[in-house]
Amino acid sequence: MAKAEQYSYAAKQELKKVRRALWEDLQFAGASTSFDEDVNAAQYLDELARKGREFGIHRNKVRKLELLRKAPYFGRIDFHDHELDTTNQIYVGVASLVDEETGQHWVYDWRAPISSLFYDYGMGPAKYEAPAGTVTGEITLKRQYRIEQGKLVYMFDSDLTINDDVLQMTLSKTADNRMKHIVYTIQREQNQAIRDEANRVLFVQGPAGCGKTSIALHRAAYLLYRYRGVLDASEIVIFSPNAIFGDYIQNVLPELGEDNIREATMQDYLEMVIAPEWSWESYYAQLAYILEQCHDPGYAARLEAIAFKSSEQFYQMVNQYIEYLEENQFRFADIEAWGQTIISGEECSRLFLETYGYLPVAQRLEKIRRRVLYLLNPIRKDRIAALVKDKADLPRHKGDNERELQRLSIAEVKEELAPVYEQLDQMLNIDVYQLYSGLFQSREQVGRFFDPSLLPSSWDQICRVTQAGMAERKLLFEDTAPFVYFQGRLEGWRELSGIKHVIIDEAQDYTLFHYQLFRNIFPKAAFTILGDLNQAVHPYLRLPDFEKAAGVFTGAGYACKILKMNKSYRSTKEIGEFTSRLLTDKQEIEFVEREGDKPKVIACGRHKGEQLAKIIEESTVKGSKSAAVICKTQDEARKTAKQLEGRIKFTLITHETGYFPPGVVVVPVYLAKGLEFDTVVIANADQEVYGREPDRQLLYTACTRALHQLFIFYENQLTSFITAVDRQLYEIMEA
């Protein structure tokens, strides 16, 4: 550590020295620049980048050694190598520790190939994939440790993959406002997902609490280790549901000795590609409308529009419309000037459909424009030369020099060509917004390119609402992804080719349009995509199945795998069994044998705020560090917050909250996704609140946030989703 700190300090001083020299040279250079000065500045910048990398390497080494000083290792395996006939003691930790003089590994990084033995095997025959090939042998001893701040807490020998006692001890701990790494307890199926390199696209599908987000972050850490020097943290991006979730996961990679990766939401990309003069409804505004405005006269039609525009049928309709436009929208006439045909309409059609057919429509049209201008240019020059010659012989231009005659002739030619340029603009310009609006026509017109029987019953009303919004330069949220996809197909994609790996969490909340966007936005990236169809908090904007999303990638030739997991580690067995019964299809979910209290159902009295506060205070006394009062909507969350004011300390979370606060929170269910709490209180599980079938997943998602305790309040009539559950799986508490 002392040596690493010394190197880090020296590298930092070198970096400062280069920065100072660069600044001083720029100051002396002043405003004047020359080629030599530009070269000198470029050399300084190269040196600055090199010194920056050196400092980063030494700083990271210090950081990893600090992690090792607190907990140098957590596992040991004695592995007898069949080929070498030797037995080695392999200690596994969060980072490698190597003797710099002898090269001996004292501790192996958990991501090293040999460390996979610790996660994948118990005592007996085992193998791992090394750079030189498969190594076979036998594990003769397996030992697990818990070391905290340099002190040994416990150790024991085990013949299991990861001992149940360690898992139980880890899972029974209370949760704060930050996700933790799981390198001590990675299970075999999780390890396989983390280390998968055979597939460019990996889907991980599993129930609440199976560790999907942890897998994603540990996979990022593994890839950064595996491709050190080729892949940088800045080249990985995670698409998360919101800023709150991004704050919740921000400690995991630093705890593993890696820099944090980039975070983004789909809204970030939409803001980048939708024209600034256009406004568009946000995801949260649409969700608030769905959950809170059921008495609006156009509510039923709007829901039908949202569901249809998120469907596979609409995806096919948009693609068929694009093909129809390519074949029928663009008509080309002969381009003529001064009695000559510059290019024929037939030639333009051939260029559009054949020669440039591999390009997006807008780029094809631009290529044709350039071709026309190229063919026109020599004729234009000849016309200018002829005019200059004619004017030189005219009495009124006697005395005009060559330059003046050139200027007058160019102006005259420009005026003569004005109709040609106008014809080019009309023929070769496209307005994607107008074309997208044209998608919403009568059933008869739609029938030119799509089966009208597949349109929803309220199609005419959907058309009126969509076109009225677009006439005012407004996009409904359900139109944003289809429009950006439509725009990308016609104009080309705004690519982010510097990104090499994309992680997509909460995959069930994206449509086929979104997956096409992901594939085309990140053409050089591999993907890790994680989700659970039962946790779709948006009732109408959802994915039918992951096979459909995988088809977007396999259709483009990507190697793709869907890994299904069925074990949940988050909740107690009692909470897990209860929540799984909330779903219509019985889920084959395996729960870790961690016992606790049954979920408790409580009828509200007149003093609901007092009851909620009492439950939370009692759970805090029992050791709960985090608690969430989960409401269906933002409006309900605000009302509940008012009832709790002055009774307990809490934070109200809205979609504008940019961080995940510690302690007690009041939160709408769609902002609680991906998070977990020691104690969860459902604010109101009335039939009126959670009564429609689309509400089932909302209630399931809310309840599955609980680690140790789950309390469900209701005011009038308890939702049938709960009354249909076996009465033995929950308790009814007196108010």
Q: How many CB atoms sit inside 10 A of residue 515's CB?
A: 25
Q: What is the pLDDT of residues 398-421, one digit of tens each?
A: 777 888 888 888 998 999 999 999
326, burial (CB in 10 Å: exposed 0-12, middle 13-18, buried 19+): middle
Q: Which of 151, 171, 143, 146 is nearest to 76 (CA)?
A: 143
d(CA 147, CA 73): 7
CA distances from 148 to 70, 71, 109, 172, 173 (A): 6, 6, 18, 17, 15
Asked if residue 502 and residue 602 are part of one domain, the reply reads no
Q: What is the pLDDT of residues 286-317, one digit of tens each?
A: 888 888 887 888 888 899 999 999 999 999 99
Least confident interval from 73-77, 602-606, 638-642: 602-606
Q: What is the pLDDT of residues 223-267, one digit of tens each?
A: 999 998 899 999 999 998 777 887 888 888 888 888 889 988 888
Mean pLDDT in residue range 617-626 = 90
User: Does pLDDT of 504 surpass 50?
Assistant: yes
pLDDT grade, residue 175 (50/70/90)? low
d(CA 483, CA 644): 43
Asked if residue 211 and residue 117 are part of one domain, the reply reads no
Quick check: is 94 in a domain? yes
Helix (H, G, I), strand (E, B) or coil at 527: strand
pLDDT for position 35: 47
pLDDT for position 224: 92
Max Cα distance, the chain (Å): 110
Q: What is the pLDDT of residues 380-390, one digit of tens each?
A: 999 888 888 88
pLDDT grade, residue 724 (50/70/90)? very high
**H or E stretch at 15:** helix 2-29
Is the separation of the CB atoms in 655 and 634 below 8 Å? Answer: yes
* DSSP structure class, residue 540: S
**Domain boundary, last residue among 144, 171, 198:** 171
d(CA 568, CA 209): 5
Range of 197's domain? 187-274+495-567
**Domain boundary, last residue among 37, 70, 103:** 70
Q: Give the distance, in angstroms, between the CA of residue 106 and the centroid of all CA atoms in the same chain.
A: 38
Helix (H, G, I), strand (E, B) or coil at 36: helix
**Domain boundary, last residue among 50, 70, 90:** 70
Asked if residue 29 and residue 103 are part of one domain, the reply reads no
Is the separation of the CB atoms in 582 and 534 below 8 Å? Answer: no
User: Does pLDDT of 171 surpass 70?
Assistant: no
Q: Which of 559, 529, 528 is nearest to 546 (CA)?
A: 529
pLDDT for position 37: 55
Spatial neighbors of 154 by CB under 8 A, at least 6 apart, are 145, 146
Amino acid identity at 153: V
* DSSP structure class, residue 686: B
Mean pLDDT of the chain: 88
Asked if residue 104 and residue 229 are part of one domain, the reply reads no
Q: What is the pTM of this model?
A: 0.85
Asked if residue 606 and residue 711 are part of one domain, the reply reads yes
Q: What is the pLDDT of residues 19-42, one digit of tens each?
A: 887 777 666 555 445 545 555 667
Q: What are the DSSP E strand ranges found in 683-719?
A: 706-714
Q: Which two tokens stand for residue 562?
A: 């869907």
pLDDT for position 258: 86
Asked if residue 384 and residue 264 are part of one domain, the reply reads no
User: Does pLDDT of 478 surpass 70?
Assistant: yes
Q: Which two tokens stand for residue 373?
A: 């201008």
More confident residue, 81 or 59: 81
State the total domains in the chain. 5
Quick check: is 518 in a domain? yes
Per mean pLDDT, which of 521-530, 566-575, 651-660 is the most reliable?
Answer: 521-530
Asked if residue 86 and residue 66 are part of one domain, the reply reads no
Quick check: is 330 in a domain? no
* DSSP structure class, residue 354: I
Phi (first) and psi of residue 203, to 5 degrees: -95, 135
pLDDT for position 570: 83
Quick check: is 287 in a domain? no
pLDDT for position 167: 55
Quick check: is 284 in a domain? no
Is the separation of the CB atoms in 627 and 679 below 8 Å? Answer: yes
Mean pLDDT in residue range 158-176 = 55
Per mean pLDDT, which of 150-164, 259-273, 482-496 is the most reliable?
Answer: 482-496
- The torsion angle over the Cα atoms of residues 654, 618, 207 and 631, rounded to 10 degrees, is -30
Asked if residue 417 and residue 313 are part of one domain, the reply reads yes
Q: HSE, CB side, 13 Å, CA atoms: give it for residue 617.
A: 10
pLDDT grade, residue 179 (50/70/90)? confident
More confident residue, 174 or 68: 68
Is the separation of the CB atoms in 240 and 735 below 8 Å? Answer: no
Quick check: is 481 in a domain? no
Is the separation of the CB atoms in 546 and 511 below 8 Å? Answer: no
Asked if residue 424 and residue 541 are part of one domain, the reply reads no
Residue 617: which CATH number?
3.40.50.300
Q: What are the DSSP E strand ranges found in 216-352?
A: 236-239, 262-264, 279-280, 335-337, 340-343
Is the separation of the CB atoms in 688 and 717 below 8 Å? Answer: yes
Asked if residue 444 and residue 377 are part of one domain, the reply reads yes
pLDDT for position 352: 92
Is the separation of the CB atoms in 303 and 540 below 8 Å? Answer: yes
Mean pLDDT in residue range 273-277 = 89
More confident residue, 735 or 707: 707
pLDDT grade, residue 93 (50/70/90)? very high
Amino acid identity at 689: V
Q: What is the DSSP string of 72-125?
A: S-SEEEEEEETTTTEEEEEEEESS-EE-TTT--EEEEETTSGGGHHHHH--SEE
More confident residue, 512 or 159: 512
Is the separation of the CB atoms in 175 and 120 below 8 Å? Answer: no
Is the separation of the CB atoms in 208 and 697 below 8 Å? Answer: no
Quick check: is 338 in a domain? no
Q: How many CB atoms sit inside 10 A of residue 334's CB?
A: 13
Is the separation of the CB atoms in 730 and 722 below 8 Å? Answer: yes
pLDDT for position 28: 54
Asked if residue 579 and residue 557 are part of one domain, the reply reads no
The residues facing 504 across adjacent strands are: 239, 529
Q: Which two tokens stand for residue 425?
A: 């603009």
Asked if residue 462 and residue 407 are part of one domain, the reply reads yes
pLDDT grade, residue 475 (50/70/90)? very high
Quick check: is 86 in a domain? yes
pLDDT for position 163: 46
pLDDT grade, residue 656 (50/70/90)? confident
Give the percent of the chain with pLDDT over 70: 94
User: Does pLDDT of 526 surpass 80?
Assistant: yes
